Every structure is written in C-alpha cells, then in structure tokens.
Chain A
Amino acid sequence: MAETIRLEIVTPRGAVLSEDVDIVTAPGYGGEFGVLANHAPFLSTIKIGVLTYKKGHDSAQIMISGGFCKVSDNKITFLVESAEGGREIDVDRALRAKERAEKRLAAARSQQEKINQTRAEAALQRAMARLKASGQKAA
C-alpha cells in the first residue's frame, strides 16, 4: 500500500485533521462510500455519522455531522459542522443525550410537531454517531 490519499477535515472551529491515509470511509448521501488514492473528482453531501480512515494497520473513527466532502487531486476534504475523534467523545454525555433525544422524539411524535421531531431526530443521530465512533455499543 504505497499510495495514500490526503485526508483533511475542516470545521468552523478550525482544521481537525490533515493526514495521508490509505482509505477513507464516510457516510454519504446514498450510503457509506469508500475513497482510495487517486479517486476521480467527487462531490457529495455528508450525513451525520462516523468517518473511518485507515493508515497501515492503524484505523481511527471520527464522528462527523452534516456538511459535504470534495475529492480532487488525490485529496479528500470534508467540510462539516463538527467533528470529534473517537477518543475525545464523552460516552456518558452521549448516552444521556441519546436518552433525552429519544424522549423528546416520542413526545414530538405524539403531538405531531414536525419541527421538534426533526430536531430530536437529528440529536438522536448525533448521539448514536458519537457512541459508534467512541467504540461503544449504542444499546
């Protein structure tokens, strides 16, 4: 595996990551997609989820939330609203957030409030993605 691709993750709070990696897997619009070195130019929107990248034998997971990604010139750039590395994630907090979101979602569903429901769903997705990235089972 000599060939690598440059992975860059940029959020409004600054660049999170800039590294040469072997493969990147990310939650795209139409499902997970993988990008290897010398991928054709590509532009996709990104859903809330977990980005995985591998470098040699090491792999890491990062939770990312909405944005888009661009592949060109053997470089893959993620522009997302937030990104958290698996190790930085506070599991307890994510678990609590998940419970809270589930409750809110149930409440919103029963009252048919569309906006609250969408919000709660997004919060739930974020919490799940965090848990997944931290390696915990989203029980």
Chain B
Amino acid sequence: MASLKEVKTKIAGVKKTSQITKAMNMVAASKLRGAQQKMDNFRPYANQFNTAMNSLSGSMETSQFPLMEVREVKNVELLVITSDRGLCGSFNANIMKAAERLMKQLEAEGKKVSLVCVGKKSRNYFRKTGKVRKSYLDIMGTFQMFNAREIAQEVAASFLAGESDQVQLVYGQFVSVAVQRPNVGQLLPIQTLGGDAGAQPVAAVDYIYEPSPNEIMDVLLPLYLNVMVYRGMLEVGTSEHAARMTAMDNATRACKDMITNLTLIYNKARQSGITAELMDIVGGAEALRG
C-alpha cells in the first residue's frame, strides 16, 4: 500500500491538472463562440458569392478559364489544414489520417503528390515524408483573409504553372460542437457549380456585364478560391476549439474520477494507520497492567 504522504501529493497533483484542463475547457468554449460568430458572419458573403458564380458560369463555356481547365491528372497537390496546437483529442490526427489515405491512394494510381501544409501539426507530421512544398504556420489563431489569399495564390500559381494538375483540400469540417469530420474537397480546377444550378435553373436574368462576362470571371475565380480556402480555415479553426472543449471536458472528468479513487485509497490508508496505532496503545496498556 502506498504511503500516506505519497497519496496525498498525488491527489494534490491531479487536482492541479484538473484546474488546468478546466481552465482550458473554458478558454476553448469562449474561443469557439468567437469562431462560430466569424463563421456566421462569413456565410452570407459565401452564399452571395455562390449565387453570383452560378448565374455567371451557367451561361459560359468554362474550360476557357485557366483556373477551371481540366487536365490529365499526373501531379496532385494536397492542401492540408490543421490546427497549430494539440490537446484537442483526435481532431488533427483524423485530418492527417485522411490526408495520408488520400496520398497513398493517389500514389497507388501512379500520381505524384506534393503537400502544402497549413498549421504546425500537419507540417510536423508530414515533414519526414519530404513532400511538403510549402507550409504556413501560426496563422490559424487569427483568421485573417489575407492569409487565405496568400495560400490561394500559392496553390493557384503552381496549378497555372503546370506543376500540379489538381489541388485537393483536406480539412476538418465543423458539423456541430460534438462532431467534427475530416473532409476532402477539390479546390482546383474549380468545378462548375453546374450540379446545383442544373437542379434549380437560375432565373435567366439578362444582366448587363461590365466588363464582359469572361473578364468578370477572370476576376471572380481567384476571389472564389480565396473564399474556399478561407472557409476551410474557418472550419478547421472552429472545429479545433470544439474538439479541444470536448477533450478538456473529458480530461477534467477523468481527473475527478482519479481524485475520488485516490481519496478512497488515502482514507483507507489513514484508517488502517489509526487502527494499528490503537492496537499498539491498547497492547502497551495491557502489558503495563500485567
């Protein structure tokens, strides 16, 4: 049986840990609120953008735009977005597993894969593979649009230069506070939103375009790319905080269980100590009376 003192120190230690995890839980909760707010703010922009793209691309031959050009796929670039920090359960691990699975599958098909990593976790994980072409660190905390723009320009440049024929986005989708799912989506070539538009044909409004629709598309497509990357970053950021909240909640609960068990052990040890002492005293008194 562990000595009294040892158990006591252990209890104190676990208590401290639970304080930390509890604080982290609360921090994550408030950050989650902020991130969710940002997502809500962003949604109208993204929706409006999609509608505009729909009404534009519906009337156009899309293959003429370099960013929409479908080529034979030989080189694939994966844009993997994870968080910068850990302690959020299996959230990052799940994203990286999804990315790795995709990588293996693509390589089995004889395609070359390169990686662009956003977030420290993915960079560290894939560093050893030697396939990381570029990484962006310490940008997940702030959700700045210009970060997304930089990343979008980077992948677009390599796509336009012919270094990659397809760009896939691997990120963690925020489904709800309890559920975050790794998700894969095609970034480049930009797919026509025809799928949805076909289902509900956009009312054929005769817009006056200025400049010509084609030139507008040239401006809109890079912006659209920004929107996609930014949304990925927002989703990952929000998911990260949600995942951390859950993980820290679990940790706090585990700490509580441990404290209960340890206290039980402590009390047992204390009681048996007292019993032993009593036996000593009683034994001594008996002997004296003799």
Contacts and interface: CB of A to CB of B under 8 A. Distances in A.
B207 A11 contact: no
Given A12-B145, A13-B41, A28-B210, A43 B216 contact: yes
Nearest to A39: B208
A81 B45 CA distance: 9
Contacts of B208: 40-43
A15 B43 CA distance: 10
Contact of B220 (A10, A40, A41, A68): A68
A12 B209 CA distance: 24
B41 A45 contact: no
B23 interface: no
B207 A41 contact: yes
Interface magnitude class on chain A: 20 to 34
Task: Please classify the interface of chain B as helix (H, G, I), strand (E, B), loop, or mixed, using the class held by over half of its residues.
Answer: helix
A67 B53 CA distance: 13
A79 B41 contact: no
Interface string B23-60: 00000000000000010111011001100100010000
A66 interface: yes
A45 B206 contact: no
Interface string B198-229: 00000001111111000110011001001100
A28 B210 CA distance: 8
A10 B48 contact: yes
Contacts, number: 74
Contacts of A67: 223
Contacts of B219: 45, 66, 68
A15 B205 contact: no
A79 B210 contact: no
A68 B216 contact: yes
Task: Please classify the interface of chain A as helix (H, G, I), strand (E, B), loop, or mixed, using the class held by over half of its residues.
Answer: strand
Interface string A1-24: 000000000111111000000000
Nearest to B213: A43
Given A12-B42, A45-B219, A29 B211 contact: yes
A38 interface: no
Contact of A12 (B45, B205, B211, B220): B45
A125 interface: no
A82 B226 CA distance: 13
A44 B45 contact: no
Interface string A67-106: 1101010000101011000000000000000000000000
Interface of A: 10-15, 28-30, 33, 40-45, 66-68, 70, 72, 77, 79, 81-82
Given A14-B44, A66-B219, 6 more contacts: A15-B44, A29-B215, A43-B210, A44-B210, A45-B210, A70-B52
User: When A and B form their complex, which 4 residue pairs have the shortest distance between CB atoms, in order from nearest?
Assistant: A14-B41, A44-B210, A41-B207, A42-B208
Interface of B: 38, 40-42, 44-45, 48-49, 52, 56, 145, 205-211, 215-216, 219-220, 223, 226-227, 230
